[in-house]
Structure formats: structure tokens, C-alpha cells
Structure 1
């Protein structure tokens, strides 16, 4: 009888203590970065376009990428300095170098539209993304990002608005609200200081 009593009254394993961060008092960029990194995003802060190019080259070398998908003419200029083949045909295996609409601080996600991804669904694209964004694209919430899109593109709102919320493609979400969401990507963020 003592054996069962000890078995059922045994102490429970201690749970990991999460460090509590007071996000109310942090600047917007720091909130975003904390949440982005917590979701396994890879973050590189850049203060010049030369730094963006160097970081892009290092990412390509680290992953042995010989080609990259890039459809943005301004971003193509950054890639042309490197020894990487550039294509404008999205597929499920070639890494994507793309801009974004907004960086959402409340959950560390990145919002895209048809201006970046054309008609392609995020889930049908490569597992590997490199995103170029500026600090002026940081917003507090999803609502603020959608309001920003509405005001920026008055009368011509882009379609295919979607977000990448998880940066660990191998992870399984237990959140019921994310059931079937396959937008997880191995994502590098090149954040350029423009303010």
C-alpha cells in the first residue's frame, strides 16, 4: 500500500520557468525582435546597404545556396553584387529573397501581400526565406498593419495578404487556431535602420 501511495504522491517534474519580460515598457522594435527570436527567427540588424549585401552573401554561403528567387527590382540590385543566380520563378525549393509589408510586434510575425509574393501561397513556396525590411515597417498589431496597407494602397488594395508566424518548419503547433497552417519557414530577417 505504501508503494502506491508513494507512486501517486510523487512530486511532479518541475516545469521550465519562462523569463517574464515586461513588454509594456519596451520600444516597438525590441518587442518585435524578442518575439521574432523566441519563435526561432534569425535576425540581422543592418545600418547600411553594404551590410545588407554582406549579410546576404554570408547567409547564401552558410546554406550553400547557388540561386535565389527575387522579383523586386530594388532587391535584385543588392543580389547582383554577389555570385548567386537570380530567378523570378517561384518554386518550392529555391530560397526566396523578398521584401514585406509590415513587421508585427505583438506576435513577431511578418506580413506579406501580392506585391511581394504575386499570386503564390506562402505554404507552396520554399522553406527558406530571406526578408529585407526597414525599421519604418514596424507596427504594433495586426490591425495596425492592415490599416497601414489600406491607407498606403488607397483604392488598389493588394490581394493575397498573409503572414509568416513561425520560423521553425519542423515544429508542430498544438494551437487549435493554427491547425493546417503550414506557413512555417526557415527565415532570416535583414532589418535595415531607416529612421
Structure 2
């Protein structure tokens, strides 16, 4: 049984225990994977756990159907291929009413945020992109904190370091953050995370 299955099995018990103790932020016994999921969901992120590529496709189709999205904005070739497989229309032109689908650099466990770079966003700022995001990521991308995230980006891109590093920390529209990772923008997005277990 994967730790995610075990985690979700115990999620209700843990939430009830925390309510009884009057604390939402008890995280001492959680692995970084469990911590990320807990923080992400607590902030309003929509989490879809996938065990294989077929489940990623199935969940993506469901998200698109439920929201009546018949087209998707993406800059990513792998995402383009995924959308072709499920027979979804796609465009690289930014249309605010359509969702933006991308991958990310990493998932930050200690605050449940997602880190992006110019590799995913090109030359765009978060505020220039649609308010609905669909992110495809893997469990191997979960890191403890933003310092580990930035180190990982630097190690992977020694020759072509990204020009922009941004993060989405809130999944309720119109909420703002004021740290350097937000690149001076409102970084709140309604966000669906398709998380594939690859470990």
C-alpha cells in the first residue's frame, strides 16, 4: 500500500484529532509528502492523486468536463501531447477564460506551494496567466522548503538558469502574498494538481 493511500485513510482521523485539540498545524509526525498534501488541501488546492499515466488522463478529462473547459492554454510540449491523447483542444495564446496547464519545478512541503520558473511560464508573470491552473507533477518533485526548491532548479539548469522563479502559495483567488517568490504579483490561482506517484 502506498503511503498516499495510507495517508488518505488516516486523513479524517487526523483532522478530527486536530479539531479536538484546536490546532490545524500539527505536522511533527508527517513525511514531507504527507505534509505537502495536507498544506496544499488546507489552502484550498484541488488534489487528484494518480497511480499511473492512465489515471492522469482520466482525472484530467474529468476536470475539463466538470468545468466545461473545451480548450486549454499550454506552453509545454509534454502537456500538449497529453492533451492530444485525450482529444482536447489546446492553444498557446493566453485566453483568460480558459485554464492554463503546465508542469512545475517543485512542490514545497512546508507551505503547500508550487514553484515555477521561466521554463514553464516563458516570459509571462503569474498575473498575466489565466486564474485557473491545472498542474501535472510527480511525487519525486516534492521538496522540504523553497531553499531546497531553488537549489534543485540551479542543479538542473547549470548552463541555462531560469530568469524567473515564482510560486503560487494560495489557491483562493484575490489572496495576495508579498515575498520575493511572488515576483511582485498577485499569485493566487484556482489550482488543480494532478500528482503522479513515481517513487
TM-score of the alignment, normalized to the shorter chain, above 0.5: yes
Which 10-residue stretch deviates more, 74-83 or 26-35? 74-83
- Residue equivalent to 1:132: 136
- Residue equivalent to 2:193: 189
Q: Is 2:82 the counterpart of 1:88?
A: no
Whole-angstrom distance in 1 between the partners of 2:192 and 2:24: 25
What secondary structure is seen at the aligned counterpart in 2 of 1:144?
helix
Say if 2:125 and 2:185, in contact at 8 Å, map to a contact too. Answer: no
**Which of 144, 168, 173 lines up with 1:164 in the alignment?**
168
Q: Is 2:83 the counterpart of 1:79?
A: yes
**Which of 85, 95, 98 lines up with 2:102 in the alignment?**
98
TM-score with structure 2 length normalisation?
0.82
For structure 1, which runs of at least 5 residues remain unmatched after alignment?
A: 1-15
TM-score with structure 1 length normalisation?
0.84
Say if 1:109 and 1:166, in contact at 8 Å, map to a contact too. Answer: yes
Structure with higher Rg: it is 1
User: CA-atom RMSD, angstroms?
Assistant: 2.0
- 1:53-105 CA-partner distances (Å, limit 9, x unpaired): 01000000110001001222212221112242111123433211100000000
Say if 1:134 and 1:191, in contact at 8 Å, map to a contact too. Answer: yes
- Residue equivalent to 2:121: 117
Whole-angstrom distance in 2 between the partners of 1:39 and 1:128: 15
Distance apart, 1:181 and its partner CA: 4.4
- The 5-angstrom pairing of residues 30-109 of structure 1 reads 30-109=34-113
Whole-angstrom distance in 1 between the partners of 2:159 and 2:139: 26
Q: 1:128 to 1:18 in 2, by over 3 A?
A: farther
Whole-angstrom distance in 1 between the partners of 2:167 and 2:178: 17
